[in-house]
Amino acid sequence: MASNSSGSRNQVLVPQARQALENMKLEAAQSLGVQIPSDGYYGNVTSRDAGSLGGYITKKLVQIAEQQLSGGSR
């Protein structure tokens, strides 16, 4: 099992992407009105809010991939 300072078990395969993913998480939270815990502990975040964040981020990542595969921007 991987360990990192945030307590997450997920590994970022491209270390340079860590900040971009964090920015995307903050953008998603702001768009959805979800409070990101300042201490990094997500145990008090509701399942609904966590799922909304994950869904939003996944949707954005798919859009980015589609744009890259199509060779342009929308």
- Domain boundaries in the chain? 15-70
Question: Any residues with CB less than 8 A from the CB of 11 and at least 6 apart, and which?
Answer: 2, 4
The predicted structure's pLDDT at residue 31? 92
The predicted-structure confidence for 8-54, as pLDDT tens digits, reads as follows: 677 778 888 888 888 998 999 999 999 888 888 888 889 999 999 99
Rounded mean pLDDT, 61-73:
88
pTM of the model: 0.68
Please name the residue ranges forming H helices in the chain: 18-32, 47-70
